[in-house]
Structures are given as C-alpha cells and as structure tokens.
Amino acid sequence: MNDYNKQSAFAIWISFISNIVLTAIKLMVGLFYSSPVLIADGVHNAGDIVATGAALTSMRVSKQPPDDDHPYGHGKAEVISAGIVAIILVLAAVYMAYHSIMVLFEPPQKATVIALIAASFSLILKQILYLYTISIGKKTNSNGLIATAYDHLADVYASIAAVIGIGLAIIGDQFQIGFLSYGDPIAGIIVSYFVLKLAIHMGKAAVDVLMEKTVDQEKMDAYIHQVQSVQEVKRIDKIRAREHGHYIIIDVRVGIQAELSIQEGHDISRHIKQSIMNQHPEVEEVLVHLNPWYGDEK
C-alpha cells in the first residue's frame, strides 16, 4: 500500500469512528434533555455511519487491480459510494425538515446548556474532520473520501444550526421571550435546505462520472498540449478523457508519418503515453490509436 492509500485509509477510519462517537453522544443527550435538533442531528449522524462504511468498502474495492471482468479497473466503486452518500444526505435532510416542522406544533422544550455543549463539540470536531478529509481526498483524488468530506460539511451546517437554535432557545427561556423558544426546530428546517442542496450537488457529480462526462476543459487542454509536445505527432484527430473514480482514462487518435514502421509507431505510442502519465499522475491509462499522415496534408 503506497503512502496515498495509507493516508486515505487512515482518514476514512477516523471519520468512521468519529461518526459512531458523535451519534451516541447526540442521541443520548438529545433524548435525555429533549432537544429536537440534537435528536435529528443524531439520526443524521447514524446515516453518516452507513455512508462512511460504504466509502470505506468502496475505497478498498477501487484499489483492486484490473481483472477479466473489469479490465478498466474498479475506480468507479468510489463514485457509487459518493452516490450512496448523496442519497443518505437527501433522506437525512427530509427527516430533519419533517421532524423540525412537527416540533413547531408542540409546546417548546426547555433548552439546556448540556445540549449546547454537545452541539458545539460536534461543530468543532466536524469542521476539523472536514478540513482534514477534503485535504487528503483532493491530494489522493479519492471520490469516496471527498464525498465523506462533504458529508462532514453537511454535519457542520447541522451543528451550526443546532448551536444557534439551542442558544436562542436558552435565551428565550432565560428572558421569557416566547418565540425564541422555537429557535431549535426553526434552525433544523434551515439546515435541512443546505444539506439537501449539498446532496443534490454530490449526486449530480456522481452521475456525471458514471455517465462518463468529459473532464473539465483546463485538464483537456493540458493533455492536448502534452500530446502536441511529442515531435512525431503531426496532428490530433480526436482526444477524449473521462474520470474512472480516482483516476482518468484518455483515448487519443493522432496522425504520424505514414512511412514509419510498425516498431517506430509502437515507440511513438509509448512515448505519448509516458509523456502524459509522467506529467499528470491522475492519469491511469492512455489508449493511443495511430493514423497515417502524408506530408502534403494541411
């Protein structure tokens, strides 16, 4: 296992264990002290355990080498995991919104400092986890880890709402301001919107990869420039690139002098492939097709 794989595995395990601990804390404090937003957030965290477990499994699968059934590798396992996380976030957002709306029609619960401390602890820990996992995820180009980072970010939103909501409720109880006592469920409704928006963004990104959407133009321009830097290439007839999980596969058709031998053509193909992969470590495979080029062509 290389250093990047070790970093990814460590980050996902930290996330998995943290989600278990936070789920237990939020549900126990929320149930004992009757905090609707903490209960909703705790259920959200329970979904995070499933999501992180899916990410952990997918990362293991995605690192497996190509085989007869999967000749292009298993990289899309992480994309499937990202899609699962998006679905879980949608369900969590709907649940939090429904639960918070129902609470508005009930007598307000008395907010407690213990609940505020629990929400504040979750906010700080989740912000740290988000910054850590998004950094490792981008460095290792891991879709599963990036999805887990965005899941942490959704928890940050939820925890901010919980802190504000519980804080307003405490102020309302302290100074007898009735409407502030509903700060807890109102904050839950607001954060549901942000979690749902994040889930839709994640889901769209996962679908784009599964549908083999091309890479962004900046990357494509860099690949084109790299192919053109090979002296023997006279023209680029076609070039395509697609994400396959944590790596990219490129197909390129180039024109070279028609008089060259098969051996010379093979050497040029290998040069093109190595040139791209040496400069762009995210590229796992380059498939090169050679077309004949005649000197009188423009």
CA distance linking residue 65 with residue 30, whole number of Å: 45
CA distance linking residue 231 with residue 211, whole number of Å: 34
Calculate mean pLDDT across residues 2-19: 78
Report CA-CA distances (Å) from 200 to 67, 84, 89, 142, 232.
Answer: 33, 12, 9, 19, 45
Sign of the C-alpha dihedral computed for residues 221, 222, 224 and 225 taken in this order: positive
Transcribe 243-291 into DSSP letters: E-SSSEEEEEEEEEETTS-HHHHHHHHHHHHHHHHHH-TTEEEEEEEEE
Report CA-CA distances (Å) from 160 to 22, 26, 123, 179, 216.
Answer: 15, 14, 6, 19, 33
pLDDT of 257: 92
pLDDT of 261: 92
Q: Which domains does the chain have, with CATH numbers?
A: 3-210 (1.20.1510.10), 217-293 (3.30.70.1350)
pLDDT of 228: 93
pLDDT category of residue 33 using cuts at 50, 70 and 90: confident
Residue bearing the bigger pLDDT, 149 or 186: 149
Nearest 5°: the CA angle 151, 59, 80 is 65
Query: What's the pLDDT tens digit per position in 192-232?
Result: 787 788 788 878 877 877 777 788 888 899 999 999 999 99
pLDDT of 297: 58
Calculate mean pLDDT across residues 129-145: 84
CA distance linking residue 43 with residue 250, whole number of Å: 42
Indicate left, alpha or beta for 2 from its phi (over 0: left) and psi (-120 to 50: alpha). Answer: beta
pLDDT of 149: 86
Transcribe 85-119 into DSSP letters: HHHHHHHHHHHHHHHHHHHHTSPPPPP-HHHHHHH
Query: What's the pLDDT tens digit per position in 54-100?
Result: 767 766 776 777 777 777 777 677 677 778 878 887 887 888 788 77
